[in-house]
Every structure is written in C-alpha cells, then in structure tokens.
Chain A
C-alpha cells in the first residue's frame, strides 16, 4: 500500500512540473502551486473533521481509543495547517505582493492553527487522563461548531483575494483537462500519504498506551 502511495506521489510531482500546463491569469509558473498548497489545506480540514468525529465518538462511547485518535488527528492537522499557511503565504507574496493579507481563507487557516494549538495546550494542562479526554473532546466539538460558521459563511459574504474555489458560485468546475487531472491526482496522493501517516501514528499511540506511557 505504501509503495503505491509513494510511486503515485512521484508521478504527481512529475506531472505537476512537466506534464500539466500553467494556468492563465497567474504569474509565470506560479499556478503550479495549487498542486501543493491546496492538498495541504484540504488535509488540514480532513484532519479537523477526523478530530471532531473522534471527539464526538469519545463523548458518546467514553472509549479512550477515540480520544487517542482525535489527539493524533489534531497533531497531524497542526502540521498540515502549518504547511498550508506557509505555502499559501509564499504564494501570496508572488501573486499579490504581500506575505499576509487577512483574506477570509487566510483567517480560517489561522483559526484552525490556533484551535489545534489550544487543544494541545489544554491536553497538557490536565493530569487525569479521563478528565483530559473529556475536556479535550468537548473543546474539539465546540471548535467544530464554530469553524464551519467561519469557513463557509464569511467568505461567501465578503470579497476574497483567493481564486475562485473549485466549485464556484456558478457551479462550474473552472480547472480544465491536464491541470484538473494533475490537481486531483495530487489531492489523492497527499490524502494517501496522510492516511499512511495517520494510521501509523494511531498504531503508535495504541502501543504507547499499552506500554503505559502515553500522555
């Protein structure tokens, strides 16, 4: 399974740089950044969804496995959110001349970063494992409620610097042909990579817990 993912990623890298053409309305080669930056943001969101789901499952079942899975999701989500923010900021510098503009999507990713960090700080501030799991799960669910409000409502209301989303207001897919194929391939590849990473760390956490070491 992992070999497939690695080979696929290599293929996508090749496609991203060689096979797919650049898009119009972008400066030079910079449109290729979409093959890297957007999957990062997508995975950060996926991790957020995972953490919300597992937190909810924990609150329903009181099974600590879900708490561990939520924690792993948050940790990895933090990594990908950080990567998304940094790559997005580099792209912003090339396209719009400034590293940071407080555009609505930039605000959402920042909010996600803060939520992840706050979640991890909360976990470190509680000693008792069961209480820690409860409080962390509640916080994650609360954040889960607040976040879509921001991600989906505000950008629709206000003008955004970001290029139109894949499915924009007119309901059409703007990307064409090779670019679309490379983009979807890249998305799939990174999602595969995340799946590998997530399952690996979850297994690790289970073992650590069994050995009596986890925090």
Chain B
C-alpha cells in the first residue's frame, strides 16, 4: 500500500465515520420532531 494512498484512506475513513455518526444523530432528532 502506498503511503499517500494510506493517508487518503485514513482521512476518508475518519471523515466518513464522523459524517455517518452525525447523520445518525440527525435521524434521531428528526424522529423527535415528528412526534
């Protein structure tokens, strides 16, 4: 694995992970607003 690819992959994973978690929280908030 090349080092630049690894760096890119690491960043992709971190930001995607954080983004997905943020979406999960948003989903919960939306469920709350529906009630």
Contact = CB atoms under 8 A, between A and B. Distances in A.
A46 to B, nearest CB: 15
Q: How large is the interface on B (under 10, 10 to 19, 20 to 34, 35 or more residues)?
A: 20 to 34
A91 B6 contact: yes
A83 B6 contact: no
Interface of B is mostly: helix
A83 B7 contact: no
Interface in A67-91: 76, 79, 82-83, 86-87, 90-91
A211 B21 contact: no
Given A28-B4, A33-B7, A211 B17 contact: no
Nearest to B11: A36
B4 to A, nearest CB: 6
Given A29-B7, A208-B28, A90 B1 contact: yes
A91 B3 CA distance: 9
A90 B2 CA distance: 11
B3 A86 contact: no
A37 B7 CA distance: 10
A33 B10 contact: yes
B10 A211 contact: no
Contacts of A33: 6-7, 10
B3 A79 contact: no
A208 B31 CA distance: 10
Interface of B: 1-4, 6-7, 9-11, 13-14, 17-18, 21-22, 25, 28-29, 32, 35
Interface of A: 17, 27-30, 32-33, 36-37, 40, 76, 79, 82-83, 86-87, 90-91, 93-94, 193, 197, 200-201, 204, 207-208, 211, 213
A-B pairs, top 6 by smallest CB distance, nearest first, are A28-B3, A30-B3, A87-B10, A29-B3, A94-B6, A83-B17
